[in-house]
Every structure is written in structure tokens, then in C-alpha cells.
């Protein structure tokens, strides 16, 4: 008498599972028009965040960003603007989308070229005050 091995239809893999993608803030790459450029700061892969504290980093000899030229997006109810940008909420915000828009003025005498714009991440927390890693994808402003 022969015994048959049962056939399974469950797929079997030896590949490791893919780790979730880290939350990321992404900046636009734009061309300045009439001495001004507006960048959108977006968040993607948001796992649930209650506070983000970041500092803009750009060539201040070539570009000017004033706090009046920073507008809150549609993710966090509160944006405090100063040297740092501090986004906050009482509970986790889970949406992906626009954190802020930043309007830069190209300073007089700025040479043609591409000027990177990025952020230094100071602190990112969820509502339990646990730190969350946040990646930054830099943007740029091209002056023609």
C-alpha cells in the first residue's frame, strides 16, 4: 500500500519579509520664477505621529525664508514657526500629505545654479512620547 503526500496550495517562501518603509518627509524640486520659489513639504508612510521638530537647512546667502512665508499643511493642527518648525497634535496623526508650504525669495545677486533644501530632524514622537525615526528626502531650488 502506498501513501500519498498531501498536496498543499499554501505558497512557501524562503525570502525574508520586507520591513515597513520608514516615515519620510519629502521636499519638492522646483525652478524659481520671478525671484521666488514655493516648496511643498510632505510626509509619506506616516505610522502615527504627534510631534515633529525640524530645522530647515538651505543656503541663506542665496535664499531667504521668513516665518510669514511658511504655511501649515493639512496633517497637523498646530505649527509653531521660528528657527525650528514644530508640528504638534494631542494624538497621533496618521495621514500622509502636506505638512507645510515654504515660499523662498531668491536673494539679489544669487548666481544661477541649483540650491539644495533639506531639514535637520530634531525630534519626532508619537502620542506615547516614543521616538520615531524619520527620513528626509531633500529638495532643491534651481535659479536660472
Instruction: Pull the grid cell for residue 63.
Output: 535664499
- In angstroms, the Cα distances linking 130 to 55, 61, 120, 123, 126 are 20, 37, 19, 10, 6
Residue 40 parent element (H or E): strand 36-44
Cα distance between residue 59 and residue 44, in whole Å: 25
Q: What is the pTM of this model?
A: 0.82
What does the block give as the cell for 121? 530632524
State the Cα–Cα distance between residues 94 and 22, nearest whole angstrom: 13
Give me the tens of pLDDT residue by residue for the chain, a chain 144 residues long.
555 544 444 444 444 445 557 899 999 999 999 999 999 999 999 999 999 999 999 999 999 999 999 999 999 999 999 999 999 999 999 999 999 999 999 999 999 999 999 999 999 999 999 999 999 999 999 999
Amino acid at each position: 500500500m502506498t501513501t500519498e503526500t498531501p498536496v498543499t496550495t499554501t505558497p512557501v517562501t524562503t525570502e525574508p519579509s520586507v520591513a515597513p518603509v520608514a516615515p519620510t518627509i519629502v521636499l519638492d524640486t522646483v525652478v524659481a520664477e520671478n525671484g521666488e520659489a514655493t516648496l511643498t513639504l510632505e510626509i509619506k508612510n506616516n505610522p502615527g505621529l504627534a510631534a515633529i521638530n525640524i530645522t530647515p537647512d538651505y543656503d541663506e546667502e542665496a535664499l531667504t525664508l521668513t516665518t510669514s512665508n511658511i504655511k501649515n499643511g493639512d496633517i497637523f493642527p498646530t505649527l509653531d514657526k521660528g528657527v525650528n518648525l514644530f508640528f504638534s497634535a494631542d494624538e497621533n496623526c496618521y495621514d500622509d500629505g502636506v505638512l507645510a508650504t515654504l515660499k523662498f525669495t531668491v536673494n539679489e545677486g544669487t548666481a544661477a545654479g541649483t540650491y539644495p533644501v533639506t531639514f535637520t530632524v530634531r525630534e519626532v514622537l508619537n502620542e506615547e512620547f516614543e521616538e520615531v525615526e524619520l527620513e528626509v528626502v531633500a529638495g532643491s531650488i534651481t535659479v536660472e
